[in-house]
């Protein structure tokens, strides 16, 4: 059988070489049977305008990620979608998003995002995609998908006159009416049980929509019971948490847990208001963007090719017209690091002349 | 801010610099000359002759100038795709040699880094000049007494020692003299001649900077304008026709390339592979269906447009952009479309003004060809769907 690294060595994998920097090629793998690649697409925010019209920009971001993923050669083992397929969780949006995702030629695992959930508490999403949280095993690696965007029952069930209002409130940033995300007691009990039968030496990959760490509450870059979830994960030797929601590249290490975020296909946070004479339907934003090319609506968006080797994940960010990035686990420092920009000397100096 | 600077520039430069700069170079930066290939009058004259040499083709009928005809602004307008020996037709529309000296890369997909490298390929492409290898060229230049003298004079080289390096250097040196600025736009913008450009063209320039979103790729600078960013963009031309076929085409092409297939020969022979664009060269996903931003100088003389010549007129080009990268509003856009391309909502008047602006980019040196080109325009089918038939011969 031809393995991925044989292909990389042989130079016959031109398509994948376009995405994965050469630095990902390794000479020795601890457990070669646990080495594989999968693609990660997230946060497409498919948005319905009316009738059969959807926001072109968001459609195009997801369509491009699907088309590029389908070009990967050798092929990824599967694809993960990291949540927020829709913008306001309507049937039209979820159906339209599911239709675009159906173009993928690979098995796809879905993660729930708050934009998929708060209209009908994930009911229609379930009809399309199944369980809100679940686990599966692949080549000796245990994958856990959590629904991390739940919140207090009182906020969810007693506070709003309609699902539409509830969805709109949860979609807001810096919203005093909002509520922090959480995994919740019921799901933590399930997680504890699920992990009880897994060997501590088994590599874990935990997939959630919100970060299972606390970054910024006002935008729900936050999971209220993050510490309790982390406590369940810490006994395992190699834990990788991959989350969406933040629309930017983040990485961190807490104990045995390596945290990596994935990019959105829709827009980067923060993002610019760029000029367009044609109506654009962008949500109103309060924070200006200073890193994307305002001309290119795909700039600072993208998708990921994830290389799982030796129980750790390396994320190759495919950033369309921008410079691709690689965040890989550094065995020496024991944490994820950007392969190029970790060294301050290699960073791109901010633009001071406009 | 940028527009503000432009306005200032016109105000300050206009009265002071106008007369001094009214030459063929107006609006152009200095021509970059590689240290390894300095210009000389004799070398340029030799290159001129080599450029027009038909004996460098297998039939003795085709030279560089066949597809880059000085009388047609150094293109073969109005051909959709260029014709080589025995009227064999390739896949690509001949780009002009005018101002090619400034290009960061050569060919529509940038597969050559410079003019010297570019010049060697058409001789041995089976659809262009059809030589089996460069041997016949070296035989001619090392036996023809006039060439022997010229190569000895220019390079101080004996006939038996002549290689393609000297041949392509001479051709490149000639091409570096084929530069032209001094259009109506240059006289208005850089020299401040208020009446140099029509009101419609002036409105078109404002649209070019703003609502048309043109200048982001067709760049202009404070003291010159080449109208290109030298980058590659998927603008929805060509790739739109092969959307379903992209995965198998890309896979088959990369396999063939890994096994030694020549990119130059492959992209000119296979129309579908040709539409993969820059991807065929650098194999990057972000290059799928992307082609080099062409200059807009003398664009009114070089119809039809785009790498495959599929857009017949400048108006068709603006309409394509106005529709957000498709020929007809509402047609499916391709998945790899550049994020810079989006529907513009331009009015008919605005479209006309943009065309008027582009028509004001014709250099004084070539302006006499305008009429010829316009009448040629009408000989070209005006719709891409009809072009497909024309090409399917």
Residue B378 has pLDDT above 80, yes or no: no
Q: Please tell me which of the candidates B284, B336, B346 has its beta carbon nearest to residue A18.
A: B284
Residues within 8 A of B (CB atoms), A 204-223 only: none
Residue among A294, A291, A290 nearest A282 (CA): A294
More confident residue, A205 or B20: A205
Residue A79 has pLDDT above 70, yes or no: yes
pLDDT at A268: 86
Total residues belonging to chain B:
393
Are A57 and B342 in contact (CB < 8 Å)? yes
| CA gap B210, B113 in Å, rounded | 32
pLDDT band, residue A349 (cuts 50/70/90)? confident
A108 contacts: CB under 8 Å, gap ≥ 6: A78, A79, A80, A81, A101
Contact status, residue B101 vs residue B73, Cβ threshold 8 Å: no
Q: What is the 3-state secondary structure (H, E, C) of B279-321?
A: HHHHCCHHHCCEEECCCCCCHHHCCCECCCCCECCHHHHHHHH
**Helix H segments across B86-127?**
115-124
Chain B residues inside the 8 Å CB shell of A64? 335-337
Does an H or E element contain A243, and which?
Answer: strand A239-243
Whether chain B has a CB inside 8 Å of the CB on A67: the answer is yes
pLDDT at A13: 40
Residue B30 in tokens: 């200095």
| CA gap B125, B133 in Å, rounded | 9
Contact status, residue B82 vs residue B108, Cβ threshold 8 Å: no
Closest approach of B335 to chain A, Cα-based (Å): 5
Are B283 and A17 in contact (CB < 8 Å)? yes
Are B283 and A299 in contact (CB < 8 Å)? no
Across the beta sheet with A204-208, the strand order is: A134-138, A141-145, A204-208, A239-243, A257-261, A251-254
Residue A344 in tokens: 């301050």
Contact status, residue B228 vs residue B217, Cβ threshold 8 Å: yes
* Mean confidence (pLDDT) of chain A: 86
More confident residue, B387 or A17: A17
Tell me which of A90-94, B8-12, B239-243 is least confident: B8-12
Closest approach of A279 to chain B, Cα-based (Å): 9
Whether chain B has a CB inside 8 Å of the CB on A3: the answer is no
| CA gap A266, A299 in Å, rounded | 10
C-alpha torsion sign, points A6, A8, A14, A19: positive
Closest approach of A310 to chain B, Cα-based (Å): 28
**B320-329 residue pLDDT tens:** 999 999 989 8
Does an H or E element contain A241, and which?
Answer: strand A239-243
The dihedral over CA atoms of B240, B242, B245, B248, expressed in degrees to the nearest 10, equals -100
Contact status, residue A107 vs residue A78, Cβ threshold 8 Å: yes
What residues form DSSP beta bridges with A136?
Answer: A143
pLDDT at A277: 56
pLDDT at A242: 98
pLDDT band, residue A291 (cuts 50/70/90)? low
B359 contacts: CB under 8 Å, gap ≥ 6: B201, B300, B314
| CA gap B192, B16 in Å, rounded | 9
φ and ψ at A267, to 5 degrees?
-150, 155
pLDDT at A75: 86
Residue A138 has pLDDT above 50, yes or no: yes
pLDDT at A324: 87
Residue B108 in tokens: 């529509």
Does an H or E element contain A40, and which?
Answer: strand A36-41
Are A67 and B246 in contact (CB < 8 Å)? yes
Residue A17 in tokens: 């070489």
Other CB atoms closer than 10 Å to residue B65's CB: what's the count?
18
Does an H or E element contain A138, and which?
Answer: strand A134-138
Contact status, residue B332 vs residue B326, Cβ threshold 8 Å: yes
Residue with tokens 């400034």: B102
Residue A185 has pLDDT above 90, yes or no: yes
Residues within 8 A of B (CB atoms), A 273-332 only: 275-279, 295-299, 318, 320-321
Which residue in A58, A321, A324 has the most chain B C-beta atoms within 10 A of its own C-beta, making it the best mutation to test that interface? A321
Q: Please tell me which of the candidates B282, B284, B339 has its beta carbon nearest to residue A298.
A: B339
Contact status, residue B268 vs residue B308, Cβ threshold 8 Å: no
Whether chain B has a CB inside 8 Å of the CB on A99: the answer is no
pTM for the predicted model, two decimal places = 0.88
Q: CA–CA distance from A281 to each of A54, A284, A295, B186, B346 (Å)?
A: 10, 9, 16, 38, 18
pLDDT at A122: 98
pLDDT at A322: 81
pLDDT at B24: 83
Average pLDDT of the residues in B70-93: 97
Closest approach of B362 to chain A, Cα-based (Å): 28
pLDDT at A252: 94
φ and ψ at B307, to 5 degrees?
-60, -30
pLDDT at B75: 98
Does an H or E element contain B350, and which?
Answer: helix B348-359
pLDDT band, residue A287 (cuts 50/70/90)? very low
Chain centroid, CA B351 distance in Å: 23
Contact status, residue A108 vs residue A75, Cβ threshold 8 Å: no
φ and ψ at B301, to 5 degrees?
-95, -5
């Amino acid at each position: 059988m031809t393995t991925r690294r044989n292909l990389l060595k042989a130079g016959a994998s031109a398509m994948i070489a376009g995405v994965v920097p050469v630095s990902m090629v390794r000479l020795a793998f601890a457990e070669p049977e646990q080495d594989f690649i999968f693609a990660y697409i997230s946060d497409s925010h498919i948005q319905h305008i009316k009738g059969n019209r959807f926001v072109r920009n968001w459609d195009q971001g997801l369509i491009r990620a699907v088309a590029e993923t389908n070009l990967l050669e050798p092929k990824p083992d599967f694809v993960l979608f990291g949540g927020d397929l829709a913008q306001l969780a309507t049937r039209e949006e979820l159906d339209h998003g599911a239709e675009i995702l159906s173009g993928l030629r690979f098995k796809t695992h879905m993660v729930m995002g708050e934009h998929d959930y708060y209209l009908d508490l994930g009911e229609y999403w379930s009809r399309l995609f199944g369980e809100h949280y679940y686990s599966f095993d692949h080549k000796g690696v245990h994958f856990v998908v959590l629904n991390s965007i739940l919140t207090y029952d009182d906020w969810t069930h007693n506070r709003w006159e309609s699902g539409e209002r509830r969805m709109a409130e949860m979609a807001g940033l810096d919203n005093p009416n909002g509520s922090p995300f959480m995994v919740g007691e019921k799901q933590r009990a399930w997680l504890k049980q699920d992990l009880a039968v897994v060997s501590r030496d088994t590599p874990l990959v935990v997939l959630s929509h919100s970060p299972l760490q606390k970054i910024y509450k006002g935008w729900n870059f936050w999971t209220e019971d993050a510490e309790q979830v982390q406590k369940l994960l810490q006994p395992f030797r190699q834990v990788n948490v991959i989350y969406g929601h933040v629309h930017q590249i983040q990485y961190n290490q807490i104990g045995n847990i390596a945290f990596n975020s994935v990019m959105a296909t829709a827009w980067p946070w923060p993002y610019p208001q760029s000029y367009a004479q044609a109506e654009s339907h962008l949500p109103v934003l309060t924070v200006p963007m200073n890193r994307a090319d305002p001309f290119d609506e795909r700039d600072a968006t993208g998708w990921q090719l994830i290389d799982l080797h030796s129980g750790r994940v390396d994320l190759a960010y495919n950033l369309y017209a921008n410079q691709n990035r690689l965040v890989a686990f550094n065995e020496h420092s024991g944490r994820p690091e950007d392969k190029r920009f970790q060294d301050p000397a290699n960073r791109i100096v901010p633009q001071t002349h406009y | 801010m940028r527009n503000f600077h432009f306005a200032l520039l016109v105000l300050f430069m206009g009265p002071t610099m106008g007369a001094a700069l009214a030459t063929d170079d107006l609006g152009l930066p200095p021509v970059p000359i590689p240290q390894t290939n300095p210009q000389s009058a004799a070398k340029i004259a030799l290159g001129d002759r080599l450029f027009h040499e038909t004996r460098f083709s297998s039939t003795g009928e085709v030279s560089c100038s066949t597809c880059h005809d000085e009388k047609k602004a150094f293109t073969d307008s109005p051909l959709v795709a260029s014709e080589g020996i025995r009227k064999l037709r390739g896949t690509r529309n001949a780009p002009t040699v005018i101002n090619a000296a400034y290009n960061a890369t050569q060919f529509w997909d940038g597969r050559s880094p410079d003019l010297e490298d570019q010049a060697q390929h058409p001789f041995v492409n089976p659809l262009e000049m059809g030589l089996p290898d460069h041997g016949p060229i070296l035989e001619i230049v090392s036996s023809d007494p006039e060439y022997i003298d010229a190569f000895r004079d220019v390079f101080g080289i004996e006939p038996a020692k002549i290689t393609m390096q000297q041949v392509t250097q001479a051709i490149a040196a000639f091409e570096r003299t084929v530069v032209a600025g001094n259009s109506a736009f240059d006289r208005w913008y850089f020299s401040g001649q208020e009446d140099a450009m029509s009101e419609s063209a002036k409105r078109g320039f404002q649209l070019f900077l703003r609502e048309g979103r043109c200048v982001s790729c067709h760049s202009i600078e404070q003291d010159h304008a080449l109208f290109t960013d030298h980058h590659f963009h998927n603008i929805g031309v060509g790739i739109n026709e092969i959307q379903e076929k992209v995965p198998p085409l890309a896979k088959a092409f990369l396999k063939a390339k890994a096994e030694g297939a020549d990119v130059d020969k492959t992209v000119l022979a296979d129309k579908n592979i040709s539409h993969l664009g820059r991807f065929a060269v650098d194999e990057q996903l972000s290059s799928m269906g992307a082609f080099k931003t062409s200059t807009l100088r003398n664009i009114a003389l070089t119809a039809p447009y785009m790498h495959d010549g599929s857009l017949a007129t400048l108006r068709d080009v603006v309409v394509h952009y106005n529709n957000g990268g498709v020929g007809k509003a509402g047609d499916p856009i391709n998945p790899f479309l550049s994020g810079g391309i989006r529907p513009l909502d331009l009015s008919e008047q605005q479209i006309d003004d943009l065309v008027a602006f582009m028509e004001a980019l014709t250099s004084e040196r070539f302006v006499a060809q305008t009429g010829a080109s316009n009448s040629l325009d009408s000989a070209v089918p005006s719709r891409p769907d009809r072009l497909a038939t024309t090409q399917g011969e």
